Structure 1
Amino acid sequence: MAKRAFVTGSSHGLGAHLASRLAGDGWKVTGLGRRPEAETPGTAGVDYIQADLSRPETVERLPALLGETPDLIVHNAVSYPPRGAQELSLADLDSVFRVNALAPYRLTLDLLAAKPDTRFTSVVVVNSESMYHADRDSGVYAASKAALRVLTTALADVCRSRNAGVATLLLGPLADPDKVEQLRRVAAGRGVDEAEITRIFLRKSNPDLVIEELIDFESCYRSVQYIADLGRAANGMVCRLDGGSAGSLI
């Protein structure tokens, strides 16, 4: 019988890749995202739920929609503050923190509580090294990711008595399609190699990096596989795939 996986933020980007690869490897996958299903890749083997994690009712009804607690839960959904906003309303702040930190925490607690003690569940929380580099433009997003990291630590304590394991996959700058295409256009406009433009971009935007290329989605998937395969040993683990951008002392 195929194992079951649940991936949030699966409508595009990294989440879509993770859901697709899991399905290709034989998992029965349920994905969740805010985009209409018609705007998703529509991967075979992935059942899609359109829902907004910033809404409390979404988190409350998801355990019933999923049925049995999945064998693997990947929290990948992410929300960013409105671009260009000089001041964020409390509603904006609440939405970002709900999606990025509160929903993964609450949903994991509910799913673990509904799980039979005889079945093991692996939880992978995708987080960002952005929490270490807050400024006036990124402070809210960074704070939500810092909150997620603290709440994940609390979940690790819960998992010890629930036959489960939760680990953080800490990511640096990803090779998402929009970013790659933007760098490609810049390289073409300047008549230089795309790899060189990428190196320049990373050095300027992430001076602590010890890598010179964006992190590809497939490396992220292999990291999820690695964490899931570790089972209980991964509980509380931080798997860093961030090129050292979190700093040498962390």
Structure 2
Amino acid sequence: MKKKEITDVDIFIPCFIDQVYPQTGFNMVKVLEKAGLKVHYNPNQTCCGQMAFNSGFWDEAKKLGIKFMDDFSSDRPVVGPSASCIGYIKNNYHELFHNSAYHLEYKRLTQNIYEITDFLVNVIHKTDFGSVFEHKITYHDSCAALREYGLTDEPRTLLKNVKGLELIEMKDTHTCCGFGGTFSVKFEPISTAMAEQKVQNALETGAEYIVSTDSSCLMHQYGYIKKHKLPIKVAHIVDVLASGL
């Protein structure tokens, strides 16, 4: 049986994107429309519940999860610019909703929600958007993207098709940058030391930008960069892909 062609998608805008990096959300729309898709946005959407879940507040996480499933109740694929949030949904909603009244809803959602680079490369098979970003960059594998979601080659496949971009791999690219959500608050000295190591590895490549799939990692690293006035910037991969469109 021939697989149904995807023409429409729902977009999920995570808290960090909504509150700190809204332009990344707009750029995701630009990229998806460039891919020929009709984009739907539900303005009632809120947090997926990851912070509450990771902090042990499972009752609160369950309430947010139920709202999230209600907000994304269509059969359209849900696409978002965060491997962290979407990896959490895919891997942890079963802890909250397995064999509950929401069993079918959580199953449907977790099988139909995608981090954007995974969606572009593996679902709709589009990897070249005519993007132009004439800079040297190095790529940071976020822990959530690599270990929870399972991304490896997808972001790099997309970056290699960006005109003018030079990708230089840093050493220990798979090592955590130290953010870890509440980890950076509870263990600030360790978190800061890890950010220092990550940024130093990036600087050693001579790159102008650190690029990643997760704005939380980038925000953490940028805080260290800004405080120490270091000659490197950060960019979400969606912003790179939207460059020149």
TM-score range, shorter chain: 0.3 to 0.5
Per residue, is there more strand in 1 or in 2?
Answer: 1
Normalising by structure 2, we get a TM-score of: 0.36
Higher relative contact order (CA 8 A, sep 6+): 2
